[in-house]
């Protein structure tokens, strides 16, 4: 207990909590590794803030307490802004930077004043802050670890068609065809594009038809989410038969991961000698990164921040800078949301460019 009185861990616990809590709340949608860089940067910024305040405060314990208070304000700004932007207090929407930012500055001044002038027993304050934030950090860590275990050990019910792949064979004296499974995720059908978005897509449909493709005019998916649809399609069965009953209120898709990555379709084709080629889908739970040929745009060719880092910026005081990029683009050019969209666009263009070369560059069957 004496160690917790003398060792100011709490600023670093706050820096870690800000990242890990956000990561745990979104762990079903992102990889844990997406948050590692943000965690390191957060801890380094925490260290920098503490080192700057230490000579000013005249005490490492006091500097740590002031740092913790300021970090709480920094990492909570975007969360509070998002809530107040949608919910009125006494009929007033406070989710505006011109209202909330000055309030946060006032709170920061009060936090510094309290830490510098009012707090007398620094060791008791250090102990209290250490205990509070150690306890708080337990929850996201447990949630992340438990999901990781559940994800790593996820299993699915054997498909009733699994035995049939043993009897599959390629025709003799005839080269097997290459198979392309291209998903234009989110690209809806022609009538919906026309009625909802006023987009005439007939020329594209006609071109496909002229090339010999069959276009289902009134097609509908059995499922409204990509993971659900892929799991069912690639295993040629309904999800109820593959994973049992799914909780409609849960976003836990860990049981679907093996169905997508090691589907019955993939197993059958690999058994027949097909070479599997896959592109980076930009979503880790639909990626086949363990195939014969995995094509992905190099990270250094894209640069910038990842999706989780964008979320962290937008839920912290970094939101002030990203919103300023829209209002004052000449002064603030780092619009992280546009960077994220641009990276996604570059990945799609890369996929389309590389797709055209695959018939000649990679021998079949594939």
Which residue in this structure is represented by tokens 């999901």?
147
**Interatomic CA distance for residues 285 and 34, integer angstroms:** 13
Give residue 295's pLDDT: 87
Q: Determine what percent of the chain is predicted with pLDDT higher than 70.
A: 87
Q: What is the mean pLDDT of the chain?
A: 82
**Interatomic CA distance for residues 11 and 129, integer angstroms:** 9
**Interatomic CA distance for residues 101 and 103, integer angstroms:** 5
Domain spans, the chain = 2-152, 159-168+179-271
**Interatomic CA distance for residues 321 and 292, integer angstroms:** 43
| C-alpha pair distances (Å), 337 with each of 131, 136, 149, 324 | 36, 30, 32, 12
pLDDT for residue 110 is more than 80: yes
Residues 6+ apart with CB under 8 A from 358: 277, 366
pLDDT in tens, 349-365: 888 888 888 888 888 78
Quickly count: other Cβ atoms within 10 Å of residue 304's Cβ: 14
Q: Residues 181, 175: contact at Cβ < 8 Å?
A: no
Give counts: helices (H), strands (E), the chain. Answer: 17, 2
Most confident region among 99-113, 177-191, 249-263 by mean pLDDT: 99-113
Give residue 134's pLDDT: 93
Give residue 256's pLDDT: 79
| C-alpha pair distances (Å), 147 with each of 143, 209, 226, 255 | 6, 45, 21, 11
> pTM higher than 0.75 for the full model?
no
- Bridge-partner residues for 89, per DSSP? 92
| 3-class secondary-structure state, position 278 | strand
Q: How confident is the model at residue 301 (pLDDT cuts 50, 70, 90)?
A: very low
Q: Residues 254, 154: contact at Cβ < 8 Å?
A: yes
Give residue 337's pLDDT: 62
């Amino acid at each position: 207990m004496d160690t917790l009185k003398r060792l100011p861990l709490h600023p670093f616990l706050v820096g870690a909590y800000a990242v890990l809590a956000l990561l745990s709340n979104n762990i079903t949608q992102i990889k844990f590794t997406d948050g590692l860089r943000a965690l390191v940067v957060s801890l380094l910024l925490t260290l920098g803030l503490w080192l700057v305040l230490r000579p000013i405060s005249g005490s490492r314990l006091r500097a740590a307490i002031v740092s913790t208070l300021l970090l709480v304000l920094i990492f909570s700004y975007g969360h509070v802004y998002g809530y107040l932007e949608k919910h009125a207090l006494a009929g007033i929407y406070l989710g505006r930077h011109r209202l909330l930012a000055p309030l946060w500055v006032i709170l920061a001044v009060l936090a510094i004043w309290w830490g510098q002038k009012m707090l007398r027993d620094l060791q008791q304050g250090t102990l209290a802050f250490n205990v509070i934030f150690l306890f708080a950090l337990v929850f996201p860590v447990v949630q992340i670890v438990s999901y990781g275990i559940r994800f790593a050990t996820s299993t699915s019910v054997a498909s009733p068609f699994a035995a049939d792949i043993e009897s599959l064979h390629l025709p003799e004296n005839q080269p097997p065809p290459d198979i392309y499974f291209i998903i234009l995720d989110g690209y809806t059908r022609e009538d919906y594009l026309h009625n909802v978005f006023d987009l005439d897509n007939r020329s594209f449909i006609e071109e496909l038809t002229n090339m010999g493709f069959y276009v289902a005019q009134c097609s509908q998916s059995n499922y409204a989410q990509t993971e659900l649809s892929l799991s069912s399609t690639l295993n040629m069965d309904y999800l109820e038969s593959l994973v049992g009953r799914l909780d409609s209120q849960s976003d836990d898709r860990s049981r679907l991961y093996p169905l997508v990555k090691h589907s019955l379709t993939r197993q059958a084709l690999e058994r027949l000698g097909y070479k599997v080629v896959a592109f980076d889908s930009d979503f880790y739970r639909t990626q086949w990164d363990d195939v014969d040929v995995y094509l992905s745009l190099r990270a250094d060719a894209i640069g910038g921040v990842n999706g989780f880092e964008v979320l962290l910026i937008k839920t912290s005081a970094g939101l002030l800078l990203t919103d300023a990029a829209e209002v004052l683009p000449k002064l603030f050019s780092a619009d992280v949301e546009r960077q994220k969209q641009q990276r996604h666009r570059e990945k799609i263009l890369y996929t389309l460019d590389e797709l055209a070369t695959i018939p000649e560059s990679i021998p079949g069957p594939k």
